[in-house]
Homo-oligomer: A and B are copies of this chain.
Amino acid sequence: MVSVQTLKGFRDIPPELAFKRGRAVALLKSVFKSFGFEPLETPTLEYADLLEGKYGGEEKLIYKFKDRGGRSVALRYDLTVPLARFVAQNKGNLTFPFKRYQVGDAFRAENPQAGRYREFTQVDYDTVGADTALSDAEIIAITASALEILNVKDFTILINDRALFGDLPKKAVQILDKWEKIGVEGVKKELAAAGLDAAEILRQSRDKKPTPRLEKIFNLLKSYGIEEKSWKFDPLLARGLDYYTGMIFEVKVTGYNGSVAGGGRYDKLISKVAGVDLPAVGSSFGLDRLMEIIPAETFADIPFRPKVLVTVFSPDLLDDTISIFDQIQGMGIDAELYLEPQAKLDKQLKYADRKSIPFALIYGPEEKAKGLVTLKSLAKKSQQTIGLTDLPKLLN
């Protein structure tokens, strides 16, 4: 019995969503490019030992297996550790600061939940080899520009500095990071259970003031023209991953639970991976989450489906009809040619209707005699006979 189904936690991305994701990614790439960032692609599979020891307690979620050559390999768990590997391997040929973006899938054997998949798309952008407030601020500025180009409003970038937790035990930071999930009472309970002074830790953390580095970053954000209402200092922001060393941030969107982007400075990761000391700062959008909050207007300018179905009136007229189809494409109009020349016109129009193609073009013997075509609006249930050159203006 063959499994005609996707694996648990994996899914197909159907055409309309795939199209919108493609548009969103193209817009994001245009922002990265406008800041001088370059694309990089790393493989889906890596040696398992590269990934091991990098993700703390989550390590058991790595998709790991032995390949036919007996190598211990793993599906990538994120795009950051492979970046560190790439930089270590190619440092002699790279110009630093090296700024790259990557859109790619990562794999985690998590318990699938609503909106949480075992294969998911990350959009990463990182600067390697610069350790300045400006490089920190740039990553945040790119994040804001990306949200703006996607028309995402009402976002807040929460910013903190890991240095502010310098005197807290690691365990306490990990518990503080659960704030949103388990609430203040949950955090208090877990801190106490870990033998820590919950009241004192919360009080201390709440009262922290921005570090001098954060003050610099905040000033730079103003120079980038980012509205002050779009970001704020959050002394309780912790972020889960162990590897952050400086500025950290997360993006919240009003009405959406959880964060849609997050990142920070991780100056020791590359050295941990590869023994090469290179400071780095970066961030990542979760594409699935992002798709849930991008407003429809972002996808309105380029429609998903063709504007017009070119019907085939009869097999005798097929050659002329193809030539008309060809001319329409030449006008830069996305069109579709009906593929069964024998089918009744009615069936063809129903096809256009089911696919929400707004117009149908008909070319029969009468149209041929006149050198014209008939354009039918399926929405308005109206039609008119026109010259082909009038098509562009009538389709809009």
* Residues in A lying within 8 Å of B, measured CB to CB: 1-8, 10-16, 18-19, 21-22, 26, 29, 33-36, 38-47, 49-50, 60, 63, 65-69, 71, 73, 75, 85-86, 88-90, 95, 97, 99-100, 105, 107, 109, 119, 127, 130, 132, 134-135, 138, 219-220, 222-225, 273-274, 304-306, 309, 312, 318-320, 322-323, 326, 329, 333-337, 339-342, 351, 354-355
Contact = CB atoms under 8 A, between A and B. Distances in A.
B339 A135 contact: yes
B39 A89 contact: no
A353 to B, nearest CB: 10
A100 B15 contact: yes
Nearest to A11: B43
B67 A39 contact: no
18 contacts: A2-B50, A3-B50, A4-B274, A5-B47, A6-B46, A8-B71, A12-B40, A15-B39, A15-B40, A15-B100, A34-B329, A35-B335, A35-B336, A36-B336, A134-B312, A220-B318, A220-B319, A223-B320
A224 B38 CA distance: 38
Q: How many copies does the complex hold?
A: 2
A105 B63 CA distance: 18
A138 B3 contact: no
Contacts of A354: 95
A37 to B, nearest CB: 9
B47 A3 contact: yes
A7 B220 contact: no
Contacts of A323: 223, 225
Contacts of A86: 12
A337 B36 contact: yes
B10 A273 contact: no
A44 B41 contact: no
A167 to B, nearest CB: 30
A351 B36 CA distance: 13
Contacts of A224: 322, 326
Contact of A4 (B6, B15, B39, B50): B50
A61 to B, nearest CB: 9
B274 A7 contact: no
Contacts of A306: 33, 36
B223 A337 contact: no
Given A6-B43, A44-B44, A273-B4, A304 B38 contact: yes
A42 B318 contact: no
Given A36-B334, A127-B339, 19 more contacts: A2-B273, A3-B46, A6-B43, A7-B73, A13-B41, A14-B40, A16-B38, A18-B40, A34-B335, A36-B336, A44-B75, A60-B68, A95-B351, A130-B340, A134-B312, A134-B339, A220-B318, A220-B322, A225-B326
Nearest to A226: B326
B2 A19 contact: no
